[in-house]
A and B are shown apart, each in its own frame.
Chain A
Amino acid sequence: MSALLEIKQLHAGIPDKPILNGLSLSINPGEVHAIMGPNGSGKSTLSYVLSGKSGYEINGGSMLFDGQELAEMTPEARAIAGLFLAFQYPLEIPGVTNMTFLKTSLNAIRRGRGEDEMDAASFLRLARAKSKALGMDDDMLRRQLNVGFSGGEKKRNEILQMAMLEPKLAILDETDSGLDIDALKTVAEGVNALRSPERGMLVITHYQRLLDFIKPDVVHVMAKGQIVKSGGPELALELEKSGYAEYSGGTEAPAGGREAHA
Chain B
Amino acid sequence: MSEAKAIIESEAKASIDKDTVEQVAQFGGEHYKYGFTTDVDMDRVENGLSEDIIRFISAKKDEPQWLLDWRLDAYERWLTMEEPEWAHVDYPKIDYQDLCYYAAPKSMEDGPKSLDEVDPELLKTYEKLGIPLIEQEMLAGVRKVAVDAVFDSVSVGTTFRDELAKEGVIFCSFSEAVKEHPDLVQKYLGSVVPKSDNYFTALNSAVFSDGSFVYIPPGVRCPMELSTYFRINEANTGQFERTLVIADKGSYVSYLEGCTAPMRDENQLHAAVVELVALEDAEIKYSTVQNWYPGDADGKGGIYNFVTKRGDCREDRARISWTQVETGSAVTWKYPSCILRGDGSSGEFYSIAISNNLQQVDSGTKMIHLGKNTSSKIISKGISAGRSSNCYRGQVSVHPKAADARNFTQCDSLLIGDKCAAHTVPYIEAKNLSAVLEHEATTSKISDDQLFFCQQRGLDAEEAVALIVNGFCRDVLQNLPMEFAVEAQKLVGISLEGSVG
Which residue of the partner chain B has the closest CB to A96? B471
Mask, A72-94, CB within 8 Å of B = 1, is: 00111011100011010011011
Taking a contact as CB atoms closer than 8 A, the residue among A85, A95, A109 that contacts B471 in the complex is A95
Q: Is A144 an interface residue (CB 8 A)?
A: yes
Q: Do the beta carbons of A79 and B458 come within 8 Å of each other?
A: yes
Q: Do the beta carbons of B456 and A79 come within 8 Å of each other?
A: yes
Residues on B with C-beta less than 8 A from A79 are 455-458
Q: Do the beta carbons of A93 and B467 come within 8 Å of each other?
A: yes
Q: Is B70 an interface residue (CB 8 A)?
A: no
Q: Do the beta carbons of A111 and B4 come within 8 Å of each other?
A: yes
Q: Is A131 an interface residue (CB 8 A)?
A: no
Number of residue pairs across A and B with beta carbons under 8 Å? 80
User: With A54-B452, A91-B449, A111-B4 given, is the CB distance from A76 to B459 under 8 Å?
Assistant: yes
Q: Do the beta carbons of B473 and A109 come within 8 Å of each other?
A: no
Q: Is A132 an interface residue (CB 8 A)?
A: no
User: With A93-B468, A96-B468 given, is the CB distance from A165 to B457 under 8 Å?
Assistant: yes
User: With A101-B467, A111-B7 given, is the CB distance from A95 to B472 under 8 Å?
Assistant: yes
Distance A165 CA – B450 CA, assembled complex (angstroms): 19
Q: Do the beta carbons of A51 and B456 come within 8 Å of each other?
A: yes
Q: Is B484 an interface residue (CB 8 A)?
A: no
Q: Do the beta carbons of B450 and A93 come within 8 Å of each other?
A: yes
Residues on B with C-beta less than 8 A from A53 are 452
Q: Is B236 an interface residue (CB 8 A)?
A: no
Q: Do the beta carbons of A105 and B471 come within 8 Å of each other?
A: no
Taking a contact as CB atoms closer than 8 A, the residue among A75, A104, A106, A111 that contacts B455 in the complex is A75
Interface centre among B456, B459, B473 (most CB of A within 10 A): B456
Residues on A with C-beta less than 8 A from B473 are 95
A70 → chain B closest CB, angstroms: 13
Mask, B441-458, CB within 8 Å of A = 1, is: 000000111101111111
Among B433-487, those with CB < 8 Å from A are 447-450, 452-460, 463, 467-468, 470-475
Residues on A with C-beta less than 8 A from B449 are 91
Taking a contact as CB atoms closer than 8 A, the residue among B458, B467, B471 that contacts A76 in the complex is B458
Residues on B with C-beta less than 8 A from A74 are 455, 460
Q: Is A208 an interface residue (CB 8 A)?
A: no
Q: Is A205 an interface residue (CB 8 A)?
A: no
Q: Do the beta carbons of A93 and B471 come within 8 Å of each other?
A: yes
Residues on B with C-beta less than 8 A from A145 are 471
Q: SS class of chain B's interface: helix, strand, loop or mixed? A: helix
Q: Is A161 an interface residue (CB 8 A)?
A: yes
Residues on A with C-beta less than 8 A from B467 are 93, 96, 100-101, 104
Interface centre among B3, B458, B470, B475 (most CB of A within 10 A): B458
B471 → chain A closest CB, angstroms: 3
Residues on B with C-beta less than 8 A from A91 are 447, 449-450, 453
Q: Is A257 an interface residue (CB 8 A)?
A: no
Q: Is A183 an interface residue (CB 8 A)?
A: no
Distance A100 CA – B478 CA, assembled complex (angstroms): 14
Distance A90 CA – B454 CA, assembled complex (angstroms): 11
Q: Is A108 an interface residue (CB 8 A)?
A: yes
Residues on A with C-beta less than 8 A from B460 are 74, 76, 108
Q: Do the beta carbons of A80 and B472 come within 8 Å of each other?
A: no
Residues on B with C-beta less than 8 A from A51 are 456
B5 → chain A closest CB, angstroms: 11
Distance A60 CA – B455 CA, assembled complex (angstroms): 24
Q: Is A112 an interface residue (CB 8 A)?
A: yes
Which residue of the partner chain A has the closest CB to B448? A54
Q: Do the beta carbons of B455 and A76 come within 8 Å of each other?
A: yes
Mask, A41-81, CB within 8 Å of B = 1, is: 00000000001111100000000000000000011101110
B70 → chain A closest CB, angstroms: 46
Q: Do the beta carbons of B470 and A109 come within 8 Å of each other?
A: no
Which residue of the partner chain A has the closest CB to B459? A108
Residues on B with C-beta less than 8 A from A84 are 456
Distance A219 CA – B471 CA, assembled complex (angstroms): 41
Distance A145 CA – B472 CA, assembled complex (angstroms): 12
Residues on A with C-beta less than 8 A from B457 are 79, 101, 105, 108-109, 161, 165
User: With A95-B470, A96-B470 given, is the CB distance from A105 to B458 under 8 Å?
Assistant: yes
Q: Do the beta carbons of B453 and A109 come within 8 Å of each other?
A: no
A234 → chain B closest CB, angstroms: 33
Among B54-73, those with CB < 8 Å from A are none
Mask, B1-25, CB within 8 Å of A = 1, is: 0011001000000000000000000
Distance A26 CA – B458 CA, assembled complex (angstroms): 24
Q: Do the beta carbons of A90 and B453 come within 8 Å of each other?
A: yes
Residues on B with C-beta less than 8 A from A96 are 467-468, 470-471, 474
Interface centre among A80, A91, A109, A144 (most CB of B within 10 A): A91
Distance A134 CA – B473 CA, assembled complex (angstroms): 31
Interface centre among A53, A55, A76, A80 (most CB of B within 10 A): A76
B154 → chain A closest CB, angstroms: 41
Distance A54 CA – B451 CA, assembled complex (angstroms): 10
Sample of 11 more A-B contacts, CB < 8 Å, known A79-B456, A95-B470, A165-B457: A54-B448, A54-B452, A75-B452, A79-B455, A79-B457, A87-B453, A90-B453, A91-B447, A95-B471, A95-B472, A95-B473
Q: Which A-B residue pairs are the 4 nearest by beta carbons?
A: A95-B471, A96-B471, A95-B474, A109-B458
Can you list 11 A-B pairs, Cβ within 8 angstroms, ordered by A? A74-B455, A85-B456, A93-B454, A93-B468, A93-B471, A96-B474, A105-B454, A108-B4, A108-B458, A108-B459, A109-B458
